[in-house]
Amino acid sequence: MAKDTLSITDNRTGKQYEVPIWEGTIKAMDLRQIKADAEDFGLMTYDPAFMNTASTKSEITYLDGDKGILRYRGYPIEQLAENCSYLEVAYLILHGELPNPAQLEQWTHDITHHTIIHENIKHFMQNFRYDAHPMGMFIATVAALSTFYPEANQIGDQDNRTIQIQRLIAKVPTIAAFSYRHSRGLPFVYPDNVLSYPGNFLNMMFRFTEMQYVPNPVLERALDVLFILHADHEQNCSTTAMRAIGSSKVDPYSAMAGAAAALYGPLHGGANEAVLRMLAAIGDVKNIPSFVEKVKKGEGRLMGFGHRVYKHYDPRARIIKKVAEDVFAVTGRNPMLDIAIELERIALEDEYFVSRKLYPNVDFYSGIIYQAMQLPTAFFPVMFAIPRTVGWLAQWQEMLRDDEQKIARPRQVYLGEDKRDFVPMDKRKK
Active-site positions?
Answer: 268, 307, 363
CA separation for the pair 180, 213 (Å, rounded): 17
CA separation for the pair 396, 409 (Å, rounded): 16
Q: Which of 189, 261, 362, 393 binds ligand ACO (CB under 6 A)?
A: 362
CA separation for the pair 45, 66 (Å, rounded): 25
CA separation for the pair 106, 112 (Å, rounded): 10
CA separation for the pair 105, 87 (Å, rounded): 10
Q: Is residue 267 part of the contact set for ligand ACO (CB under 6 A)? A: yes
Q: Is residue 360 part of the contact set for ligand ACO (CB under 6 A)? A: no
Q: Which of 32, 356, 401, 411 binds ligand ACO (CB under 6 A)?
A: 356
Q: Which of 307, 343, 370, 375 binds ligand ACO (CB under 6 A)?
A: 307
Relative orientation angle of helices 363-372 and 271-282, to the nearest 10 degrees: 70
Q: Which of 35, 122, 308, 318 binds ligand ACO (CB under 6 A)?
A: 308
The CA dihedral of 68, 73, 75, 77, to the nearest 10 degrees, is -50
Q: Least separation, in Å, of the C-beta of 340 and ligand ACO? A: 13
Which residue's CB comes closest to ligand ACO?
306
Q: Is residue 363 part of the contact set for ligand ACO (CB under 6 A)? A: yes
- Choose among 32, 49, 30, 50: nearest CA to 41: 32
Q: Which of 35, 122, 301, 311 binds ligand ACO (CB under 6 A)?
A: 301
Q: Based on CB atoms, which residue is closest to ligand ACO, 383 or 399? A: 383
Q: Which residues contact 294 (CB under 8 A, 6 or more apart)?
A: 300
Q: Based on CB atoms, which residue is closest to ligand ACO, 268 or 312? A: 268
Q: Based on CB atoms, which residue is closest to ligand ACO, 111 or 358? A: 358
Q: Which residues contact 259 (CB under 8 A, 6 or more apart)?
A: 238, 239, 241, 242, 245, 388, 392
Question: Which of these ranges, 15-23, 122-130, 282-290, 299-307, lies near ligand ACO under the rule CB under 6 A?
Answer: 299-307
CA separation for the pair 405, 243 (Å, rounded): 10
Q: Is residue 367 part of the contact set for ligand ACO (CB under 6 A)? A: no
Q: Which of 134, 191, 199, 304 binds ligand ACO (CB under 6 A)?
A: 304
Q: Which of 358, 383, 385, 390 binds ligand ACO (CB under 6 A)?
A: 358
Measured in degrees and rounded to the nearest 5, phi and psi for residue 262 equal -65, -35
Cα four-point dihedral sign 112, 114, 120, 122: negative
Q: Least separation, in Å, of the C-beta of 270 and ligand ACO? A: 8
The CA dihedral of 227, 231, 233, 235, to the nearest 10 degrees, is 140
Q: Based on CB atoms, which residue is closest to ligand ACO, 183 or 240? A: 240
Which amino acid, one-letter code, is at 173?
P
Question: Which of these ranges, 39-47, 98-106, 110-118, 305-313, lies near ligand ACO under the rule CB under 6 A?
Answer: 305-313
Q: Based on CB atoms, which residue is closest to ligand ACO, 301 or 312? A: 301
Q: Distances from the Cα of 296 to the Cαs of 45, 268, 291, 354, in angstroms?
A: 33, 21, 9, 12
Q: Based on CB atoms, which residue is closest to ligand ACO, 258 or 306? A: 306
Q: Is residue 303 part of the contact set for ligand ACO (CB under 6 A)? A: yes
Q: Based on CB atoms, which residue is closest to ligand ACO, 144 or 176? A: 176
Q: Which of 306, 315, 367, 381 binds ligand ACO (CB under 6 A)?
A: 306
CA separation for the pair 243, 258 (Å, rounded): 10
- In the complex, the residues that contact ligand ACO under the rule CB under 6 A are 267-269, 271, 295, 301-308, 356, 358, 361-363
